[in-house]
Homo-oligomer: A and B are copies of this chain.
Amino acid sequence: MRVSQLFAPTLRETPAEAEVVSHKLMLRAGLIRKAAGGVYSYLPLAWRVLKKIETIVREEMDAKGGQELSMPIIQPAEMWQETGRWSVYGDEMFRLKDRHNRNFCLGPTHEEMITTIVRGDVRSYRQLPLMLYQIQNKYRDEIRPRFGLMRGREFIMKDAYSFDRDEAGLDVNYNKMYDAYTRVFNRCGLTFRAVEADSGAIGGSGSHEFMVIADSGEAGIVYCGDCDYAANVEKAELHPISAPAEERLPLTEKDTPDMKSISEVSHYLEVSPEKTIKTLAFRTDTGAVVLALVRGDHEVNEIKLLNKVGCIQLEMANEEAISNVIGSQAGYIGPVGIESSKDIIIVADTSVMNMHNAVCGANKKDTHYINVNPLRDFTPSTVTDIRLIQANDPCPRCGAPVKTARGIEVGQVFKLFTKYSTSLQATFIDDGGKEKPMVMGCYGIGVSRTMAAAIEQNNDENGIIWPVPIAPFHAIVIPISNKDQAQMALAEKIYNELNEAGFEALFDDRNERPGVKFKDADLIGYPIKITIGPKAIDEDQIEVKARRTGETFYFNHEEYVKGIRELLEKL
């Protein structure tokens, strides 16, 4: 294609709305345009990238026996009411009524729909297993859509669903998908990690997330350098930390005027933070208050806490709740003297129970206790692992210190077991004639988010650096002077030869200064830039520059196609 005809409107300035680098670069490189908050048009270059990602996804799904179909985006409310998710989804679900006043939503996901289809047409174990998938727009009305395609309200997803006779079958399909995802992200040219993920209310070890490693990632991950353990920090389990035995001293109140934070208190009382108990108050969706206790130098893992409490939502309790329910004041909360009940749930991290003569808030302004001893001075409702893992914590598998990184979640595989087949009565007759619920898994890839993640991971101050397999074009041919007929003719010849050789090449035939063309090429990030100037004409030296490495090569006319082919394989 000729650049003069390509609709790739680049911008010199970064629109003020963009916060993260992928968002900035996609706007500047003419890849996307905003229609509304979290809602974007994909312009031709972005669409080429997305089609390439989709093709890779499709090939890998098909290779594992997946069958592609396409389900409606507008979904009737009834099936969501059957599973109870019509109410659970809350404001995050886009809802609408048709002209007959019937309720619909825009599918945020398709478990209800696929299970409804399969229950209608699958009766016998002989029709199982099934792996069905689609690639389609999904809709979530995020409170704060942001970061461009990273957290949109309309986004492209590949969602797959497996149906099996039993858990052994689910394991087979789950592992196939795990392999397929590994292949997909490898083929996209991305650096990623598969990590153990929280599987919410279902529990068990039934979920992995695929994280593209990038500093801008919203997710924290930990991994072990010694063994192959890797997990989302939300999921990472921790063994309790023990502390040397001490003689229990008597519980004593201490004045701690205006000392609210752990660091203030420990400094003032001259104890290390490891000897303090941090108490955080949360409120559940049912109105109960949860006091979460961790060691002063630890953080609460809210996801673990939520799963342990078994509620749908948790938020920090406000001053009013702290004062009314606990009779305390923020900054001085502690478990001593609090009776657990259905309204007050005290959850202590396992490591807290190993502490001796600790410090904690005394539920009264400007006052802390010292010499607090668990069980003697307070009794939790639950003792369990609610700690957020940190760098250098011991690996839960091998004990070596873990490392942390930031990641962008681009895929997740998930064992659903019989959650939806039970609520939607998707049963089959097994080979013994018995009716059983199908055993399900679901598997998602954020296709548009993968494009954004690729940019987060691959860019420099000049623009995007596309991994070759998902680059919108492989190469751009730029004549230095549009006035020079010999340069124009050679540039066009090379452009044609490259396309004939199976590459996707562009010819920048615009009547622009070379600087403008080079800047656009670097901004958009084509892997290879071929410059046709006097050296090419006079000396048969074609300049080939690799966007990723910055290296420049010179090939003569006989060799350049081979040279570019070899270069693309290395980039």
Chain A interface residues toward B at CB < 8 A:
4-7, 9, 30, 33, 35-36, 39-44, 46-47, 50-51, 65, 67-76, 91, 94-96, 98-99, 102, 104, 106, 113, 116-117, 120-122, 126, 130, 132, 137, 139, 141, 143, 153-154, 511
| Interchain CB contact under 8 A, A70 and B41 | yes
- Candidates B65, B69, B72, B143; contact of A154 at CB < 8 Å: B72
Question: Nearest Cβ in chain B — how far from A527, in angstroms?
Answer: 21
Inter-chain CA distance A104–B95, complex, in Å, is 11
Taking CB atoms, residues of chain B closer than 8 Å to A94 are 74, 96, 98
Taking CB atoms, residues of chain B closer than 8 Å to A76 are 35-36, 39
Question: Nearest Cβ in chain B — how far from A87, in angstroms?
Answer: 15
Inter-chain CA distance A126–B7, complex, in Å, is 12
What is the chain B residue whose CB lies nearest that of A48? B68
| Interchain CB contact under 8 A, B35 and A47 | no
| Interchain CB contact under 8 A, B41 and A117 | yes
| Interchain CB contact under 8 A, A44 and B73 | no
Q: 30 interchain pairs (CB within 8 A)?
A: A4-B126, A6-B67, A7-B67, A7-B121, A9-B122, A30-B121, A33-B121, A35-B71, A35-B72, A35-B113, A36-B72, A36-B75, A36-B104, A39-B76, A41-B71, A42-B69, A44-B132, A46-B69, A47-B70, A72-B154, A73-B73, A74-B139, A94-B96, A94-B98, A95-B96, A98-B141, A98-B153, A106-B106, A126-B511, A137-B137
Do A39 and B74 form a contact, CB below 8 Å, given A68-B44, A99-B141? Answer: yes
| Interchain CB contact under 8 A, B40 and A99 | no
Do A65 and B99 form a contact, CB below 8 Å, given A35-B113, A41-B113, A121-B33? Answer: no
The 4 closest A-B pairs by CB, nearest first: A9-B121, A96-B96, A44-B67, A91-B99
Question: Nearest Cβ in chain B — how far from A538, in angstroms?
Answer: 31
Inter-chain CA distance A95–B130, complex, in Å, is 36
Taking CB atoms, residues of chain B closer than 8 Å to A6 are 67
What is the chain B residue whose CB lies nearest that of A90? B99
A51, A106, A154, most chain B CB atoms within 10 A: A106
| Interchain CB contact under 8 A, A5 and B99 | no
What is the chain B residue whose CB lies nearest that of A128? B5
| Interchain CB contact under 8 A, A7 and B69 | yes
| Interchain CB contact under 8 A, B99 and A39 | no
Question: Nearest Cβ in chain B — how far from A537, in angstroms?
Answer: 26
Inter-chain CA distance A71–B67, complex, in Å, is 26
